[in-house]
Structure 1
Amino acid sequence: MPPKSQKAKKKCLPTRKPHFFKCIIHLSLLSKLQRIPPKFLKHISSVGSKKAILQGPSGSKWHVELGKDMKDTFLTTGWPKFVKDHSLREYEFLVFQYDGDMRFTVLIFDTSACEREDAFAVRPRRKPRQCEGKRKRGRPPKHSPEVGCTIKSEAIEHGMSLELLKDDVQLPNLLQIQPFQQAESGLPYPAPACDVKVKREESELLINILRNTTKRSKGGRISTRRPLTEKERLRAEEAANSFTSAFPYIVMRMAPSQVYRPYMRIPKWFSREHLPPKRSNLVLRDPCGKSWIVTYIPSLRCQISRGWSVFARTNKLEEGDYCVLELIGPIELRVHIFRAVEVEETLQIAMTPTT
Structure 2
Amino acid sequence: MYKDACVVTLLQGIPPAFWKHTNRLSTGTVSLQGPSGNIWPVNLITKEGHLFFENGWQEFVRDHSIKCGDVLVFRYDGDSHFKVKLFDSSGCEREDCFSVKPCEDAIMSKADLSSTFSRAHLPKMSMEMLLRVPKVGEWLIGYFCQKSQNTIKYVLSRGWPAFFNNNSLKVGDSMVLEVVHEKEMLVHIFRA
Do these two structures clear the TM 0.5 threshold for a shared fold by scoring above it? yes
What value does the CA root-mean-square deviation take over the aligned residues?
4.0
Does residue 21 in structure 1 map to residue 1 in structure 2? no
Distance 1:92 1:83 in 2: 11
Aligned identity (percent) is 29
The answer to whether the 8 Å contact 1:34/1:79 transfers is no
Work out which of the residue numbers 326, 335, 353 in structure 1 matches 2:155.
326
Shift of 1:54: 0.8
Q: Which has the higher helix share?
A: 1
Work out which of the residue numbers 47, 62, 78 in structure 1 matches 2:56.
78
The answer to whether the 8 Å contact 2:132/2:139 transfers is no
The answer to whether the 8 Å contact 1:50/1:67 transfers is yes
Distance 1:87 1:286 in 2: 28
The answer to whether the 8 Å contact 2:146/2:153 transfers is no
Shift of 1:18: 0.6
Shift of 1:108: 1.6
Work out which of the residue numbers 147, 162, 187 in structure 2 matches 1:287.
147
Distance 2:138 2:38 in 1: 24
Q: Which has the higher strand share?
A: 2
3-state DSSP class of the match of 1:100? Answer: coil
3-state DSSP class of the match of 1:58? Answer: coil
3-state DSSP class of the match of 1:21? Answer: strand
Question: What's 1:41 paired with?
Answer: 19
Question: What's 2:111 paired with?
Answer: 248
Distance 2:93 2:6 in 1: 17
3-state DSSP class of the match of 2:44? Answer: strand
Compared CA separation, residues 67 and 193, structure 1 to 2 (3 A)? same
Question: What's 1:193 paired with?
Answer: 101
Shift of 1:84: 1.4
1:228-247 to 2 correspondence within 5 Å?
247=110
Does residue 91 in structure 1 map to residue 69 in structure 2? yes
Distance 1:194 1:98 in 2: 33
Compared CA separation, residues 193 and 278, structure 1 to 2 (3 A)? closer
Shift of 1:20: 0.8
**Alignment coverage as a number of residue pairs:** 143
Compared CA separation, residues 80 and 89, structure 1 to 2 (3 A)? same
Shift of 1:106: 0.6
3-state DSSP class of the match of 1:35? Answer: coil
Larger radius of gyration: 1
3-state DSSP class of the match of 2:13? Answer: strand
Gaps of 5+ in 2: 104-108, 161-192
Q: Which amino acid aligns with 1:326?
A: V
The answer to whether the 8 Å contact 1:17/1:99 transfers is no
Shift of 1:266: 6.7
Q: TM-score, structure 1 length as denominator?
A: 0.33
Shift of 1:110: 3.2
Does residue 114 in structure 1 map to residue 22 in structure 2? no
Compared CA separation, residues 331 and 70, structure 1 to 2 (3 A)? closer
Compared CA separation, residues 111 and 326, structure 1 to 2 (3 A)? farther
The answer to whether the 8 Å contact 2:4/2:21 transfers is yes
The answer to whether the 8 Å contact 2:145/2:155 transfers is no
